[in-house]
Amino acid sequence: MPEVVVDGVHKSFGVVEVLKGITMSVERGEVTALIGRSGSGKSTLLRCMNGLESIQKGAITIAGHAVTADKAKLRRLRTDVGIVFQSYNLFPHLSVADNITLAPRIVKKMGRGEARTVAEEVLALVGLSDKFGAYPDQLSGGQQQRVAIARSLAMRPKVMLFDEVTSALDPELTGEVLAVMERLARDGMTMLLVTHEMGFARRVASTTVFMHRGRIHESGPSRDLFDAPRTPEMAQFIRSDIK
């Protein structure tokens, strides 16, 4: 069974229907990029996958968990599904180590020594072993975002969701974060990412999904979609991004 299954999902905010019958799946170890113009429903879909937004119709199963409104079931879902946003949301009064070990200790009841070991491992993975004792205000934006990724990885998730994680960063810092995500992809992490980084999507994502006005307009192998878009909307989107 695929690691992520989205079946006929509809989502509205008031009278505005944002998702209009989304159906898709992601296999274990696959990287899927969600692209499209602002307002096409990409980020809303990602938030629905983690139970941060409720849906009106359809079903979502991710990492073996059915996404429901049940709070206990959502807590179990979130132990297996990490999500990283464009805002880092680090606790400014806690060190990098404490930001990373907080959830494993509280949610997974991990001992202090084990949590410290996990923090060291994930910080090494994102290239920030030397920032173990630093505080968020001592880090660049790119470093803070990499700590946010490490914090999610410390929960040992089966699936990672990334929502425009580089949109607030300058090009150099963007490169730092994308390199971490590319490393995770090589290591076999199942990932869904909302991104405007078209080169990254084409190079790293096995599948790209182009969303347009709340629907999946095109989807398929990334290189095929970028090299030979099948619809005028996708072709125009790629051209406007290149410009």
Which is more confidently placed, 53 or 171? 53
Mean residue pLDDT across the chain: 93
CA gap 158, 80 in Å, rounded: 5
Residue 201 has pLDDT above 90, yes or no: yes
Residues spanned by the domain of 181: 4-242
Question: What count of Cα atoms within 13 Å lies in the side-chain half-sphere of residue 185?
Answer: 22
Distance CA 112, CA 182 (A): 30
**Residues 175-189 pLDDT 10s:** 889 999 999 999 999
Counted domains in the chain: 1
Asked if the model's pLDDT at residue 243 lies above 50, the reply is no
CA dihedral 128, 133, 138, 144 (to 10 degrees): 40
Distances (CA, A) of 141 to 133, 164, 179: 17, 14, 15
- pTM (predicted TM-score): 0.93
For residues 30-54, give the mean pLDDT: 95
How far apart (Å, rounded) are the C-alpha atoms in residues 163 and 124?
A: 23
> Domain containing 45 — which CATH number?
3.40.50.300
